[in-house]
Chain A
Amino acid sequence: MNKIDDIFEGLKGQKPTISNPVELTNRIMDSLPDISETTESGKARVVKINWWAAVAATLLIIICIGAIWIFDNEQSESQLIASSDAAIVDLKTAIQEVGSQLNSVEVNTPRPTQESVTAIRTQELVQDTLQQTSEIHVNKRQPIQNLHYASNIIQEDTIAYQDPARMDEFIAKLAEFNKVYPLPINCSSDLGDSIGVSIAYVFEDKPRFDLFARLLQAACWYDTKTPGYLLNFSRRQFFFSLKDMYKGEKYIWIMEQLMDGRILIFSTHSPIEAPASLICYQKLLEQLTNTDNIISQF
């Protein structure tokens, strides 16, 4: 604040001492050139206006920097608070204006690429979130530009997205290549799982198909940290499940060796929140193994 006082004091010092204001006015009016004359005096007037504007802008910048400093120290966790607080909104607007002025100054500063900006900002957001979660209060002096782009932060996952539907595509291609066609599935249970989409294939258990190996290879393409990752297999059964958090779907694939030299591949996917059941799979299994028919004979 000392600087502001100094400026005011400096301005006071330049103020002329006037004993007779009427005489001063007349003297000024007489000294003014005719408006039709050269523009030299007009240029001088513009210079005068710019000087006052510069002083006003300096004052505004100093006030805004002070406000940012106070805001950062006292409200370090409030940057993401809802914008209902009018004072904060005004402050942010002011900061953005100042930020844009500062940006215009930094024309020659090397800028990182868009990718690195996104990465840095995402990292900062993660760090902020972690700090908020663990309630560690750190005096964060973030660059002003961060506030400027806060609404543009793109959330990135820690692991790359791997579309579970590719597993279905792989099975469909495998079936198509081996001229195996999907079985019609007409089934429902009283669990309300009818919104699920299921598909089944029956392959002959031939070494050249090597289905267990092919599906294991496909399943191993997925990172074990993929949501819902669950892989369980034995000589008789392959069981794999995943969740797609982007599409809100959960997937299950089951491959089971039937006792008659055939292999059943069943896949189903449904909304994550929907009740899940494998009743349809069980019914299909019973139909294929003729368990239904045999039981009725006893």
Chain B
Amino acid sequence: MMSLLTLTAFALQAQTKEYAKSIGMFVSRPEVKSDKDTKMTSAIWHKSNMAWIKDHCETKNVAIEKDYLKLFPEIVNVLQNDQSYIPMSWRLTEEKDETVLHCYLRMPADKVSNLFLTSEETCLVDQETGAQYRIRRTEPDTFCKHFTVKARKGDVLDLKIFFAPLPETTKDIRIYGVSNWGMMGMPVTIRQQVFGTWQPLNYDTIPEFHKSRLLKEHMYENKPYDRQDWNTWKVMTDAHLIKPLQDETMALWRTPEATYLAIGCEQNWTREYWEFRKDIKLLDETGHQYKLREIQGLPIDELFFMEGMAGDYVAYVLVFDPIPFSASTITYIEPAGEPFRAWGANWSGKVLTLNIQQLRDNQRLFMYHPRVIVK
């Protein structure tokens, strides 16, 4: 019994807790030269602004990440392309009571020289407390050195940087001093709730919103819908009312079947016009688009009036394709639309980068709140 407990304890300790990961930025593949005699290929990594460090070493026993494609399945698209660029992927984890930043490098040649990973600048900074987690060591040891590495062309190196463990309260950090991976103050949101791959996924339940109803088929004129004529627009009413909040505050619910994005809006007029176009979409950092399926209870791709009371705060719910559970941020894209004639018409579109955890925390702001009138 004791040995079983010990084994379980060891297994738990050996678990990897994944905080964040990214395919990373793309850099140009350096020119690759081939030795005619040995047929070995070699490349010199790009010049960096760390030229003031003169130390150089040749690394040995560099870990090869064989599960790279499992960690970044979307990278397959990149590898199918013409290989003129290299993704500088990374992954931040907690392993054996240490925070580990894995920097992956797909070898463009059998030998790459002039690489640089870390210096004393390398650190993580907790954005709430300001605590700086300075670099402890690297594996292999390349600290403050340019280095040469040999491996098979196409192998993915796993260059590790170690830091002190992050407390469970840490939510947002910035990573400094890993310039070849584009980290010179790069913001990262920590996913505290994800433990390896065995933990059941923490999805939300489908939110229940009060659905609007059609009040009038046309504002005034019984004619087919005409974008340029507000008289023909539908009039809706009975929106989902919420407590006052900052205009266009959002909340998000993730389910395996769909993603629900609620937008809180201030009603400035008795009848206010809105439009939600079908080409609104969510986009993750790998370019995957999550399409809009519907606006709950409201017309899509059509201007309409919402009738209520000036001073109301209402929520509109957009239903998208499900986003992956691993995503920590998502970009809301509203393309510029066709011009139309109305008071204060705006067709410029918008792009917003959204923090998913923050949006999930906002769910509480979208409880139905009936209108309270005091005369």
A positions within 8 Å CB-CB of B:
189-191, 210, 212-214, 216-217, 219-221, 224, 228-237, 239-241, 250, 252, 254, 259, 275-279, 281-282, 286, 289, 291-292, 294-295, 298
Please determine whether B23 and A294 come into contact, CB atoms closer than 8 angstroms. Answer: no
Chain A CB within 10 Å, residue with most, of B29, B84, B333, B335: B84
Say how far A178's CB is from chain B's closest CB, in angstroms: 16
Please determine whether A234 and B22 come into contact, CB atoms closer than 8 angstroms. Answer: yes
Given A236-B186, A278-B84: A217 and B351 interface contact (C-beta under 8 Å)? yes
Please determine whether A224 and B288 come into contact, CB atoms closer than 8 angstroms. Answer: yes
A65 to B294, CA, bound (A): 54
Secondary structure of the B contact surface, majority rule: loop
Task: Give every chain B residue within 8 A of A221 (Cβ-Cβ).
Answer: 335
Please determine whether A237 and B49 come into contact, CB atoms closer than 8 angstroms. Answer: no
Please determine whether A252 and B84 come into contact, CB atoms closer than 8 angstroms. Answer: yes
B positions within 8 Å CB-CB of A:
22-31, 46-49, 51-52, 54, 77-78, 81-85, 87, 182, 184, 186-187, 279, 281, 283, 285-289, 331, 333, 335-336, 349-351
A292 to B81, CA, bound (A): 29
A191 to B337, CA, bound (A): 42
Task: Give every chain A residue within 8 A of B28 (Cβ-Cβ).
Answer: 277-279, 281-282
Please determine whether B336 and A217 come into contact, CB atoms closer than 8 angstroms. Answer: yes
Task: Give every chain B residue within 8 A of A191 (Cβ-Cβ).
Answer: 31
Please determine whether A216 and B81 come into contact, CB atoms closer than 8 angstroms. Answer: no
Say how far A238's CB is from chain B's closest CB, in angstroms: 10
Say how far B300's CB is from chain A's closest CB, in angstroms: 17
Task: Give every chain A residue within 8 A of B51 (Cβ-Cβ).
Answer: 294-295, 298
Please determine whether B82 and A254 come into contact, CB atoms closer than 8 angstroms. Answer: no
One of A213, A235, A254, A282 near B351 (C-beta < 8 A) = A213
Chain A CB within 10 Å, residue with most, of B24, B31, B279: B31
One of B26, B31, B333 near A216 (C-beta < 8 A) = B333
Please determine whether B283 and A216 come into contact, CB atoms closer than 8 angstroms. Answer: yes
Please determine whether B25 and A230 come into contact, CB atoms closer than 8 angstroms. Answer: no
Q: Which residue of B lies closest to A240 (CB)?
A: B287
Say how far A258's CB is from chain B's closest CB, in angstroms: 12
Please determine whether A230 and B48 come into contact, CB atoms closer than 8 angstroms. Answer: no
A265 to B366, CA, bound (A): 40
A276 to B28, CA, bound (A): 10
